[in-house]
Each structure stands twice: as C-alpha cells, then as structure tokens.
Amino acid sequence: MLTMPISHLSAQETVRLLNRSTGLSDVMPSVNPILEDVRKDGDAALRKYTLQFDRANIKDIEVSHKDIHEAVFSLDKNLISHLKKAALNIRAFHEAQVQKDWIREFAPGIRLGQRITPLGTVGAYVPGGRASYPSTALMTVIPAKVAGVGKVIICTPPQTDGMVNPLTLAAAHIAGADRVFRVGGVQAIAAMAYGTEAIPKVDKIVGPGNVYVTAAKMACGTAIDFPAGPSEVLIIADGSARADFIASDMIAQAEHDPNAVSILVTPSKELAKKVEQEIELQMKNEARLEIIKKSLENAAILTGSLDECIGFSNMFAPEHLEIMTEQDILGRIKHAGSIFIGLYAPVSVGDYASGTNHVLPTAGYARTLSGLNTDHFVTKSSVQIVEKKGLEGIGETVIGLAEAEGLSAHANAVRVRKK
C-alpha cells in the first residue's frame, strides 16, 4: 500500500495511480481466435470453449424455464424477498431516468422534436468467475426492460456441473430476462455479437466482465455499453469520518479482484494512520484474504489539503467515489461513475439495493462515459415538421449556406419549394 502526501507523489507513482491499464492489448491475441471460432462454428465452439475454460460439459446451451423456476423455488424465501426488494428499488430509480417523445414549435411553421425508440434485443453479460453476481442480472436487465427493450437475454458462465448458480437464475427471473444461456467468457460475447444456432444475435451487449470479456466486447463489432476493467473506489474523508468505516469499504473493494483498486485521500494525517491500522485489524477475519492482500498492494492512502484531495479525485475519475466530509463538496466533483455521500453510504448499498446502477465505467472512463442507464437501451431520432411559412422563414438561410459550401442541389431543393 502506498502511503504519502499527495504533493510528494513522484511522476511515476502519479502515472501508476491515474493511468490504470486495462490490459486489453495484452489479451487480444487470445481473444480474436475465439471470436472467429464462434463466428464460424457456432454452438460447437461454445461447447468446446465452455469445457476448456469452465470445465463444464454442457449439452443444452439454454437454461430451460423449468430449471429457472426450480431454482427460484429452491432458494430461501428471505433471499427471494431481498432480490425482489432490490429489484423494486432499481426499477423505480431507472423509471425516473426514462425520457419521452416530445415535439414543440420553435418558430412559426417549424415544429421540432425527439422520438425515443427502444432497442429490439439486448444481451446482458453476468459474470460468474470468482463469485456469482445475481445483482448484475438485476442491474442489466431491469433498466433495459424499463427502457422498453423487446427481448433481453443473459449469458453467464456455468458451474463445473454445467448448472447456473440458482441465485443468478432467480435474479434473472425477477428482473424479467426473456432467456438465459449457460455460456460465459469471450465465447459468450461472440455468441451474442454474431448469433449461433442457440443464441440470437443482439443489437447491443452490456454488463461487466474480466479483461478477456472486455476485450471481446471492444473487438466484436457490436454496440456495447462501455469498457469495464477491475473495480475501484476512491474515498475523500476528513477528520470527522470514522476510520473503521473507511477501512471496511477499502477491504470490501479489495475482495472483488486482485487487481481492484482502493484509495483514500484525506486532509487528516491522524485519520490516515488510523485507517491503516484498521485495515490490518479487519482484514484478518475476511474469507477472501489472499485476494484482499493482493488487491491492497494497489491501494493508496494519500494526505493533503481538501483542495488537493478533490483535485486528485477529479484526475482519477473513479468508478465509485465516497465522500465523508463535514463540508459539502459535491458541487466540486467533476468525474465519477457513482457518488456515495455520508458515513452511512458505503459502495455496497449501490452494488445491491439503493436503486442506482452498479455497472459503471472504470480505469478513468468516468471522465467521458456514464454508468449504465436507460439511455443505453434506446435510440433518439430528431423530428422536424416544417410548413410552408416555416420554410419561408429559413429558406434563404439554407440557400445561402448550401451555396457557400458548393452544394447547389441542396440549395435547389429549397428553391423548388419556394417557387
């Protein structure tokens, strides 16, 4: 773990922290042949790679409705209740994001507007590697359905026995997924991008995954949400914050993946020292200790003025940003995937049940990209309704500009009407 004042960071240390490499170029040579195999051989390639990478010999690529319903009934009722409560909150939040068609008059004889059209078919990737992620089924399927997408399919890796985690199946059912397929990794992205005998070609692929999945999304030629690398949290906290809360949040981030990143920036040297001590104390009892230890090698605790902390955060553009300060600094935050404010808003609440989406841009992409939302599942068409008097009002402007660009036919399209 790197611990030092922000002002003392060397150029090399700053680059390491800010430029989080996704490693996409390193894995492309492995990814491209799999994409091509699935494009050519379809389901046969899916079965081959599922056996190779997931050690599962699958016959039926699609999970049957019977298996899905059995999974739902096999689970503890409290778990089903938790999934339903989370789904309710996620649905409510995303319903507030939905935009509607509109048309209004901007000038006499000219009405302009926007038409919203949902995508036809969306593919949601739900990871299943080191852990199962039923919450991702909720986060990817629900906003698509809220946006009005016709069909939403899920691809998720099977367990070694060929079965999909029952909790993931239950979440898929509650979220409203139309079909579920027991395929993961690069081969799943290829199947959704190109279509196979079992899996339909989709209009767009969404959902997080490891570096291989992300590379496949980037290379497959199908529309995607955004690149997603290892998960990350940055915490801005002052002396009023609690060290045990901060430590627990950094450890929670670290248990995701050995490459996950946890950073604390604080004006309080005393808090920084306490957090370091709390991390050592708390991590001893964690089940995923080896992953956490490896991840915390990427962690940093940096001190400086509050201005320096905010400035560093804006440069870092974190996937998750936690703010635990007495001063309201939200208005000074420029770049973050999702923002959590207050002592009682750990990233975990957004991961599962507050209602906001946990599929977020990482590796600094929050500078230019937004987390998954209903806009990812629609297209927006501009509309213009122009009457004769409307054309009279702008006709000469169109003619003048068209002729200035040397496009006389464009100008003539207006002249013909003016005659």
Catalytic residues: 319-320
Please check if 351 is assigned to a binding site.
yes
Q: Is 268 annotated as a binding residue?
A: no
For residue 276, say whether it is annotated as part of any ligand binding site.
no
Q: Is 30 annotated as a binding residue?
A: no
Closest listed residue to residue 21, CA positions, set 312, 259, 189 = 259
- State yes or no: 256 annotated in a binding site: yes
65-101 exposure pattern, b = at least 16 Cβ within 10 A, e = fewer: eebbeebbeebeeeebeebeebbebbbebbeeebeee
Pick the closest to residue 62 from 147, 160, 188 (CA basis). 188
Q: Pick from 373, 358, 26: which is nearest to 214 by CA?
A: 26
Which two structure tokens, joined as six digits, stand for 145? 């359905």
User: According to the annotation, is 231 in a ligand binding site?
Assistant: yes
Q: Which of 7, 44, 49, 409 is nearest to 216 (CA)?
A: 49
Torsion angle of C-alpha atoms 40, 43, 44, 49, degrees rounded to 10 = 100
Which residue has tokens 């042949």? 33
What is the CA angle 67-71-75, rounded to 5? 170
User: Do the annotations mark residue 65 as ligand-binding?
Assistant: no
Three-class SS state of 62: strand
Within 10 angstroms of residue 106's Cβ, the number of other Cβ atoms is: 12
Q: How many CB atoms lie within 10 A of CB 317?
A: 24
Q: How far apart are CA 87 and CA 140, in angstroms?
A: 11
Sheet holding 320-324, edge to edge: 2-5, 300-303, 261-266, 232-237, 320-324, 338-341
Is there a binding annotation on residue 410? yes
Give the residue numbers of the binding site.
Answer: 125, 187, 210, 231, 253, 256, 320, 351, 405, 410
Give the residue numbers of the binding site for Zn(2+).
Answer: 253, 256, 351, 410
Give the residue numbers of the binding site for substrate.
Answer: 231, 253, 256, 320, 351, 405, 410
Give the residue numbers of the binding site for NAD(+).
Answer: 125, 187, 210
